[in-house]
Amino acid sequence: MIRLSIFTQIHEWLYSLMPASSAHILELVLIAAAYLGIFAILGLLLVWLERRVAGFFQLRLGPNRVGPIGLFQTIADALKLVSKELTGTVKADHFLYGAAPYFIITTALMAMALIPFSQEIHAFDINIGVFFIASVSSVGVVGIFLAGWASNNKYSLIGGMRTGIQMISYELSIGMVIVTMTTLAGTLQISELIEMQRNGWFIIQGHFPAILAFMIFMIAGTAESNRVPFDLVEAESELGAGFHTEYSGMNFAYFFLAEFVNLFIISSIAVVLFFGGWLAPFGITDGLHIPFIGLFWFGLKVTAIIFIFMWFRWTFPRFRIDQLLTLEWKYLLPINMVNIVVMALMVWLGLIIKF
């Protein structure tokens, strides 16, 4: 679905130079390389944004010396990590220990392939798009399990086991929110979900059930991304660094990068399900044909959601493990189940007014 004129020209040029099969494979390689670049840039930008937001909430400036407003600080940190020695433990399961970071990176990249940056820039649009993102993202927990177990470190193992408990619990809430919103929309295809919101975002069309679903999604999304107040898998005061205690250099950077990219993916799903994706609010730019305007609105909405997640991190204290499980199983899960039924009844009775 990448349909900007420059991409069309590249497409036609490649097919004029070589056989169709070779040109198709080369296109896929180029798109994959572009997404790898986006992956790296997103990680660097979000780390910088996290530090600036932390400084704002703590009444300080944050990084402000390396480059303009500290933008090059994360690049300096990345270069430091690249140059550091890769260390490990003698008794680790070396194959699984080495595979775990790449497992997490791969699942994050697969999920990001379906993110609709704009109507023109959407690499992979399938009829089960939202379900595919949720499914692939949930597989990433296996990489954390592998890292915790293969390190042969008790703190890493505890962190990995906590991840399993946390992910399995809050995946239910994420899945039920998706069911709630697709009940309203009647489709799982991301482009169709967005187009149905052209005259009104789902958080407005869906009335109270949609607002409640969004609130639950934000709580469960925080838990899914292992962020404060749900960062028990990396609890520094208890576990050192949790499942990646024994990782250094670029292997550690992969975990760090995947955490922030997953934050972007979760925020993107929220924008698609509730806030109209790349569509401008109130249709204020419809018919203007401004280049990259959809990319601008999508980026602005995702940045706003990411800011809320960061606001959580620098506001709330960490939960205990029993509090984390109580919140999901005794409160969010029952509320979600009732919310799905209410949304289904509203759609069935025609109480949902689609604009």
SS (H, E, C) 125-153: CCCCHHHHHHHHHHHHHHHHHHHHHHCCC
Q: Look at residue 262 and tell me if it is in a domain.
A: yes
What's the alpha-carbon Rg for the chain, to the nearest Å? 21
From 182, 45, 38, select the one nearest 117 (Cα to Cα). 38
Q: Look at residue 354 and tell me if it is in a domain.
A: no
Which of 93-107, 128-142, 281-295, 302-316 is predicted most confidently? 302-316
Give the mean model confidence (pLDDT) for residues 62-91: 86
pLDDT, position 202: 93
Residue 341 has pLDDT above 80, yes or no: yes
Give the mean model confidence (pLDDT) for residues 68-83: 89
Give the mean model confidence (pLDDT) for residues 70-97: 86
Give the mean model confidence (pLDDT) for residues 19-34: 82
pLDDT, position 355: 52
Round to whole Å and give the CA distance between 319 and 299. 31
End-to-end CA, the chain: 26
Round to whole Å and give the CA distance between 345 and 338. 11
Round to whole Å and give the CA distance between 3 and 11. 10
Give the mean model confidence (pLDDT) for residues 116-132: 86
pLDDT, position 349: 87
Give the mean model confidence (pLDDT) for residues 59-67: 89
Percent of the chain with pLDDT over 70: 95
Residue 177 has pLDDT above 60, yes or no: yes
Decide if 100 contacts 146 (C-beta within 8 A). Answer: yes
Say which amino acid occupies 152. N
Confidence of residue 118 (pLDDT cuts 50, 70, 90): confident
Q: Look at residue 326 and tell me if it is in a domain.
A: yes
Decide if 257 contacts 104 (C-beta within 8 A). Answer: no
Give the mean model confidence (pLDDT) for residues 319-339: 92
Round to whole Å and give the CA distance between 24 and 34. 15
Decide if 53 contacts 59 (C-beta within 8 A). Answer: no
Full-model pTM: 0.90
Top pLDDT among 90 and 293 is at 293
Confidence of residue 216 (pLDDT cuts 50, 70, 90): very high
pLDDT, position 231: 85
Round to whole Å and give the CA distance between 156 and 243. 4
Round to whole Å and give the CA distance between 78 and 108. 19
Confidence of residue 162 (pLDDT cuts 50, 70, 90): confident
Torsion region of 88: left, alpha or beta (phi above 0 gives left; psi -120 to 50 gives alpha) = beta
Residue 211 has pLDDT above 80, yes or no: yes
Residue 332 has pLDDT above 80, yes or no: yes
Residue range 259-300, pLDDT digits in tens: 899 999 999 999 999 999 999 887 776 666 676 888 999 999
Q: Look at residue 239 and tell me if it is in a domain.
A: yes
Q: Look at residue 126 and tell me if it is in a domain.
A: yes
Q: How many CB atoms lie within 10 A of CB 315?
A: 10
Round to whole Å and give the CA distance between 122 and 38. 13
pLDDT, position 335: 96
pLDDT, position 153: 86
Q: How many CB atoms lie within 10 A of CB 50?
A: 20
Q: Look at residue 88 and tell me if it is in a domain.
A: yes
Residue 313 has pLDDT above 80, yes or no: yes
Round to whole Å and give the CA distance between 266 and 112. 10
Round to whole Å and give the CA distance between 260 and 46. 6
Q: Look at residue 110 and tell me if it is in a domain.
A: yes
Look at the chain and report how many structural domains it folds into: 1
pLDDT, position 32: 83
* Domain encompassing residue 109: 5-348
Average pLDDT in the chain:
86
Residue range 239-250, pLDDT digits in tens: 777 788 888 888
Which of 16-30, 223-237, 338-352 is predicted most confidently? 338-352
Residue 3 has pLDDT above 60, yes or no: no
Give the mean model confidence (pLDDT) for residues 69-86: 88
Max distance between CA atoms of the chain, in angstroms, equals 64
Residue 120 has pLDDT above 60, yes or no: yes
Confidence of residue 1 (pLDDT cuts 50, 70, 90): very low
Q: Look at residue 353 and tell me if it is in a domain.
A: no
CA 262 to chain centre: 3
